[in-house]
Amino acid sequence: MTATMDSIRQFLGQQRFAMIGVSRQPGDFSRTLFGEFLRRGYQTIPVNPDAQEIDGHACFAHVADIQPPVDEVLLMTSPAATETLVRECAQAGVKRVWMFRGAGRGSVSPDAVRFCEANGIDVIPGECPCMFLPGEAWFHRFHGFVKRITGTYPH
């Protein structure tokens, strides 16, 4: 499955979601992305079993611990972790999962994508959310431009 613009619009149209795999390290890209979503008014809930808080926001060990529950999750994890986490998402009633990919494999796992599809979870397998946020930095727009000319930009 490939990402669709409809799925991306639906995900970004919600103002509340969990971000699993937000690093404790301030310089990590996951922290940059977390901060960008907060700056844009999203209620982004960090999930990392090794952190109590991230940038002053309560951090949860598992998506099922979040109350009220979330419908959407952005995964910033390894593909191996993604395979486990999509099962936790299904048990927690998550309806939409975005598996981050900037370069390389990112969070995408073919088995996790198949699991989501088989369990009625709308999945965005790859893509960097920054390409779809209005007014982002030139390199994110350039990334989108390259994907358009190579025919890999979501339709």
Rg of the chain (C-alpha set): 15
Is 114 a member of any domain? Answer: yes
> pLDDT, tens digit, for every residue of 70-114?
999 999 999 999 999 999 999 999 999 999 987 667 899 999 999
pLDDT > 90: what percent of the chain?
74
Position 155 in a domain: no
78: CB partners within 8 A, 6+ apart: 107
pLDDT digits (tens, 9 = 90+) for 16-39: 999 999 999 999 989 999 999 999
Q: What is the C-alpha to C-alpha distance for residues 86 and 123, in angstroms, rounded to an integer?
A: 10
Give the CA angle between residues 144, 155, 104 to the nearest 5°. Answer: 45
CATH number at residue 132: 3.40.50.720
Counting the structural domains of the chain, the total is 1
Strand ranges (E), 11-121? 16-20, 43-47, 53-54, 57-58, 72-75, 96-99
154 within domain boundaries: no
Does residue 38 belong to any structural domain of this protein?
yes
Give Cα 144 distance to the centre of its chain.
17
Domain range for residue 110? Answer: 5-149
Q: Look up residue 60 and give its DSSP letter.
A: B
- Residue 132 belongs to a domain: yes
Rounded distance, CA 120 to CA 103, Å? 27
